[in-house]
Amino acid sequence: MNGILISLEGPDGAGKTTVLQEILPEIQKMKREVVPTREPGGVRVAEEIRQIILDPKNTEIDSKTELMLFAAARRLHMQEKMLPALRAGKVVIVDRFIDSSVAYQGYGRDLGVEVVDWLNYFATDGLKPDLTLYFDIDTDVALERIMKNRADEVNRLDLERAEMHRKVREGYLEIVAKEPERFVKIDASQSLEKVVADTLEVLKKRFVSEF
């Protein structure tokens, strides 16, 4: 594959989606074409699966069903959008990818890392990001932010207990420690300006010849 795959990860409330919007004008200056996308979603049917997963009324979706829906959405997204872009040598920057399933379903929902790793592998045929930016934030600070900023658009997964949020963060910290060469941890508790600046610095340093 000629392209570059960058994923953004972090607990809810870390602000990575906002950071992505802020850094886009700068990373669009890269020599290669940049394709921003997100999971679950990114392509039509995967966006439909996203609606099903996040709809607060779908309380009958259990953990295993949820895991498989994320995996199904991931495969569609990868086949239809990510792989063609990567084969064409583009930079794909994806808001959440395989590590979200490990952190949320593996740790948060207690399904275990092994089964989630396996299903991720099955869904992606082993595709891994070249770089993963992990936006780290203390769970209490994150929960405060979610309550303050997103009361109007709280989704089903946001409503889960604080306990789940804690497990997700612990999960992320373990994943990051396991693959230090793939991850760069960014302190997301700082001001948005500082988080954006840190993120751009990491990208420009890592892909120095691409800017």
Residues that bind ligand TYD (CB under 6 A): 12, 17, 39-40, 54, 70, 95-96, 100-101, 104-105, 155, 157
Nearer CB in complex with ligand TYD: 90/165: 165
Question: Can you say which residues are annotated as belonging to the binding site?
Answer: 10-17
Structure tokens that stand for 37 in this block = 């996308």
DSSP assignment of 100-137, as one string? Answer: HIIIIIIIIT---HHHHHHHHHHHHTT---SEEEEEE-
Nearer CB in complex with ligand TYD: 73/83: 73
Nearer CB in complex with ligand TYD: 38/207: 38
Structure tokens that stand for 182 in this block = 């793939």
Q: How far is the CB of 186 from ligand TYD (least distance, A)?
A: 15
Nearer CB in complex with ligand TYD: 54/173: 54
Q: How far is the CB of 31 from ligand TYD (least distance, A)?
A: 28
Q: How far is the CB of 90 from ligand TYD (least distance, A)?
A: 21
Question: Can you say which residues are annotated as belonging to the binding site for ATP?
Answer: 10-17
Question: What is the SS3 assignment for 53?
Answer: helix
Q: How far is the CB of 208 from ligand TYD (least distance, A)?
A: 28
Closest of 112, 129, 149 to residue 12, by C-alpha:
149
Pairing of strands 34-38, 91-95: parallel
DSSP assignment of 126-180, as one string? Answer: T---SEEEEEE--HHHHHHHHHHH-GGG--TTTTS-HHHHHHHHHHHHHHHHH-T
Structure tokens that stand for 177 in this block = 């420690």
